[in-house]
């Protein structure tokens, strides 16, 4: 079920922009998909249901840690919460091709330094996309001078589909900002929102699952 379209200033309505995680949620090709088994099952006569799941932390909506691209960098337990909570600007770049320059974003101020890109090439419809637009490293540097704190995308990566160097990840982390991937922005209009997307407090990993929510900002 997709979230309803809401214009900024519509009140306190919460818009869930997370990807549901289940068997069949598209994973990055070659990564570990979601699977579930039951440790205890009431259908077998057990007193409770207790499940056990296996998946890559990159399945569904998640925050990348710098450790994802640098073995000497900080891991998932050190992801800064304040980057994932606060004012954010949704920018629609559907129909564009990457790499995107700062001028291609078509907006001046990025609220709270948190930029969410609606590329139209996410996994929310149940398939893994062939490609999507992405920010150029120079664009990230320019945003860094403006106080960048987070780049979020509906695509599976902030880098291009076929990047092996992950320069955009490195540029974002180099600016001291966070990375949020696999959002569901299909029904979210461009504009300013409050983002609530705290990463799960797991340790030693290269990424952490996230439940991401938007709340329209009052004018």
Instruction: Say what the pLDDT of residue 77 is.
Output: 97
Radius of gyration of the chain (CA): 17
Instruction: Say what the pLDDT of residue 12 is.
Output: 63
Rounded CA gap, 17 and 113, in Å? 19
Instruction: Say what the pLDDT of residue 98 is.
Output: 87
Instruction: Say what the pLDDT of residue 218 is.
Output: 73
Mean pLDDT by 10 residues, the chain (219 residues): 40 88 98 98 98 98 98 97 98 96 96 98 97 98 98 98 97 98 97 98 98 90
Q: Is the separation of the CB atoms in 62 and 181 below 8 Å?
A: yes
- Considering only CA atoms, which of 61, 22, 65 is closest in space to residue 196? 61
Domains parsed from the chain with CATH numbers: 56-216 (3.50.30.50)
Rounded CA gap, 180 and 210, in Å? 8
Tokens of residue 29, six digits: 């090709």
Instruction: Say what the pLDDT of residue 6 is.
Output: 40
Q: What is the pTM of this model?
A: 0.92
Q: State the catalytic residues.
A: 68
- Considering only CA atoms, which of 161, 104, 170 is closest in space to residue 131? 161
* Phi, psi of 76, deg, nearest 5: -60, -35
Order of strands, edge to edge, in the sheet holding 150-153? 15-16, 213-216, 191-196, 85-92, 114-118, 150-153, 178-181, 62-64, 207-209
């Amino acid at each position: 079920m997709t979230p309803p379209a809401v214009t900024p200033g519509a009140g306190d309505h919460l818009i869930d922009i997370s990807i549901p995680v289940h068997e069949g949620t598209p994973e990055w090709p070659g990564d570990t998909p979601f699977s579930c088994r039951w440790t205890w099952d009431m259908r077998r006569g057990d007193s409770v249901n207790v499940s056990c799941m296996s998946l890559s932390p990159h399945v569904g909506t998640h925050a990348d840690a710098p450790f994802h691209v640098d073995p000497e960098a900080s891991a998932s337990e050190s992801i800064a919460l304040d980057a994932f909570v606060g004012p954010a600007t949704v920018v629609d770049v559907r129909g564009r091709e990457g790499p995107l320059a700062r001028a291609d974003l078509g907006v001046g101020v990025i609220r709270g330094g948190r930029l969410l890109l609606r590329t139209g090439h996410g996994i929310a419809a149940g398939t893994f996309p062939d490609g999507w637009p992405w920010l150029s490293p120079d664009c990230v540097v320019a945003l860094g001078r403006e106080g960048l704190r987070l780049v979020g995308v509906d695509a599976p990566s902030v880098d291009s589909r076929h990047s092996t160097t992950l320069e955009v990840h490195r540029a974002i982390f180099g600016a001291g900002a966070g990375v949020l991937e696999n959002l569901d922005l299909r029904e979210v209009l461009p504009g300013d929102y409050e983002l609530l997307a705290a990463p799960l407090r797991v340790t030693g990993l290269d990424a952490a699952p996230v439940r991401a929510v938007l709340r329209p900002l009052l004018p």
